[in-house]
Every structure is written in structure tokens, then in C-alpha cells.
């Protein structure tokens, strides 16, 4: 498994994908500086919020691209047959590729975070806001849970790549999963709890949203950026529950993907 993980890491670093990651990151951090020009209050909070959103969006795109490139395209081009010639279980190949993508994702988050801190340091250095953001431990926790969300998205894309005959399908459906899983919790809370929610909308959508929520993981629970943005205390119970949810879905997805991949015919 580690052989395939290291080969995936080398392939990802040698390709143009990491350069694309840095280019997108630089553009995103340029947006952080641009936002700072028009923000007269709580500048650091606004810039940090935009920067974290850029890190999450760019990282998800790159994770989906890496899964498609390292696994989906190998299946399409039949290059995977050379890897399957090794006297190891097929699951080692699947888990190795997945682990390689996670290592690349960690390196990508580290690179984008470095760009974010550079952008924050270039901003209005003489501005001191009354309630400063916390870029210490809460920032680290936020980034770690970003990485856990990427691991969940990568598991979905890997499972799709294991069963798909179309290389673009993991990228497309993986992106759709990332959007829906992030949105389902806030949408359901709005329908249930908001005073502005239309009662007719509640009657029409509540049952279907609840059904979707039972099967789709709520990745908004993995977002702890409020602790870094507003220096709020971290809730260890919520953190553990969110981690348990993500790990459970990852184990189930990879287990099902491995079971199918071991029996798949590559003609």
C-alpha cells in the first residue's frame, strides 16, 4: 500500500496540478487583499474568513482532480493493469492511491495556509480591531478539520472511481457531493428553525430534506472556523461527534469500494 501511496505522491508533485494549486491559491489570496481594500471594520476577520473559504474550495477541486487523475484515468487507459500485476491485494492499490491523495491534500493545505498568512501580513498592518481573530490553536483545528472533510470527499470520489467506467464521473459527482453535504445541514436548520421560513415551504421540503440528511453526511459540522474568526471556545464534544461521523462514512465508503474493486473485471 505504501508503495502506491508514494508513487501517487510523486506523480502528484511532478504533474502540473501542484503548480495549478499554487496559481489558484495566489489568485485567491489576491481576493483576500482585494476584500481588505473595501472592509473598514473587522478587517482581519473578513480577510481570514475569505482566505479559509478559498483554501477549502481550491483544496476540494484539487482533491477531486487528483483522484480522477491517479485512479480514474488509470482505469480508463488500462494502465491500472500494470499496477495490478504486483502480487498484492487490489485493495492495497485503492488504499494506496487514497492515502497518496490525502498526503497531497495536507501539503496543499499547508501551502495555501502559508499564502494566506503572507496575504494577512501584507494587509493593513496598522489596523487593530477590537476583537482580534485567533490564528493559533483554533486556526490549526480549523485546518485539520478541513483536511478531514477533504478525506471524506476523497473517499466518495475514490468509491466512485472504483465502480465507474467514466473518468470524469468521480470529479463531477464528488463535487456535487461536496456542495450538497455542506449545504444540507444549514438548509434544514433554516427550514426548521428560522422565523422567516415559509410554513408552506416547511411542509413541502421538511420530509425530503430529513430523509436526505439521514443518509448524507453533514460536512458543515466539520467547519470550526468560528473559533478562529471570533476567538470562540472549541467544543470538544461537537469536535468528537463530527470526527466520528466523518470516520464512519470514510470507513463505509472505502470498505464498499474495496469489496467491489476486488471483484471488478478490467477487460
Give the closest residue to 101 by CA, choosing from 76, 68, 141: 68
Q: How far is CA 114 from CA 27, 46, 51, 173, 188, in A?
A: 14, 18, 11, 30, 35
DSSP of 83-146, one letter per residue? HHTSSS-HHHHHHHHHHHHHHHHHHHHHHHHHHHHHHHHHS-TT---SS----SHHHHHHHHHH
User: Do 123 and 33 touch, CB atoms closer than 8 A?
Assistant: yes
Task: Tell me the pLDDT tens digit for each residue of 37-49.
Answer: 666 667 778 888 8
User: Do 8 and 63 touch, CB atoms closer than 8 A?
Assistant: no
Give the closest residue to 94 by CA, choosing from 213, 267, 250: 250
User: Do 231 and 134 touch, CB atoms closer than 8 A?
Assistant: yes
* Number of other CB atoms surrounding residue 186 within 10 Å: 11
Per-residue model confidence (pLDDT) at position 145 = 96
CA 182/CA 187 separation, integer angstroms: 9
User: Do 146 and 109 touch, CB atoms closer than 8 A?
Assistant: yes
User: Do 96 and 38 touch, CB atoms closer than 8 A?
Assistant: no
Task: Tell me the pLDDT tens digit for each residue of 154-175.
Answer: 999 999 988 887 778 889 999 9
Per-residue model confidence (pLDDT) at position 81 = 66
Task: Using CB atoms within 10 Å of the CB of residue 11, give its burial: 0 to 12 exposed, 13 to 18 middle, 19+ buried.
Answer: middle
Per-residue model confidence (pLDDT) at position 8 = 74
Give the closest residue to 105 by CA, choosing from 180, 5, 206: 5
List per-residue pLDDT tens for the chain, 267 residues long: 767 677 777 777 777 777 777 788 888 888 887 776 666 667 778 888 889 999 999 999 999 988 888 887 766 666 666 666 667 777 788 898 899 999 999 998 998 999 888 888 876 555 566 677 888 899 999 999 999 999 999 999 999 988 887 778 889 999 999 998 998 888 777 777 666 666 776 667 767 777 777 788 889 999 999 888 888 889 999 999 999 999 999 999 999 999 888 787 766
Amino acid at each position: 500500500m505504501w508503495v502506491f501511496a508514494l508513487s501517487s505522491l510523486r506523480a502528484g508533485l511532478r504533474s502540473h496540478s501542484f503548480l495549478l494549486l499554487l496559481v489558484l491559491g495566489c489568485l485567491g489570496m489576491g481576493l483576500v487583499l482585494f476584500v481588505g481594500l473595501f472592509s473598514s471594520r473587522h478587517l482581519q476577520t473578513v480577510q481570514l474568513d475569505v482566505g479559509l473559504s478559498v483554501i477549502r474550495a481550491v483544496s476540494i477541486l484539487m482533491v477531486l482532480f487528483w483522484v480522477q487523475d491517479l485512479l480514474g484515468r488509470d482505469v480508463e487507459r488500462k494502465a491500472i493493469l500494470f499496477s495490478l500485476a504486483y502480487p498484492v491485494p487490489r485493495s492495497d492499490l485503492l488504499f494506496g492511491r487514497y492515502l497518496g491523495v490525502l498526503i497531497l491534500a495536507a501539503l496543499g493545505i499547508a501551502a495555501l495556509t502559508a499564502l494566506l498568512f503572507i496575504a494577512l501580513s501584507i494587509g493593513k498592518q496598522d489596523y487593530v480591531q477590537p476583537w482580534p481573530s485567533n490564528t493559533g490553536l483554533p486556526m490549526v483545528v480549523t485546518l485539520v478539520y478541513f483536511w478531514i472533510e477533504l478525506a471524506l470527499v476523497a473517499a466518495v470520489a475514490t468509491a466512485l472511481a472504483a465502480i465507474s467506467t467514466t473518468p470524469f464521473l468521480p470529479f463531477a459527482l464528488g463535487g456535487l457531493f461536496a456542495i450538497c453535504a455542506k449545504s444540507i445541514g444549514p438548509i434544514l436548520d433554516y427550514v426548521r428553525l428560522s422565523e422567516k421560513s415559509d410554513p408552506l415551504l416547511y411542509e413541502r421540503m421538511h420530509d425530503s430534506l430529513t430523509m436526505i440528511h439521514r443518509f448524507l453526511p453533514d460536512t458543515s459540522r466539520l467547519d470550526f472556523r468560528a473559533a478562529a474568526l471570533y476567538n470562540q471556545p472549541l467544543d470538544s464534544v461537537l469536535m468528537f461527534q463530527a470526527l466520528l461521523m466523518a470516520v464512519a462514512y470514510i470507513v463505509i465508503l472505502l470498505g464498499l469500494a474495496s469489496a467491489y474493486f476486488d471483484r471488478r473485471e478490467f477487460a
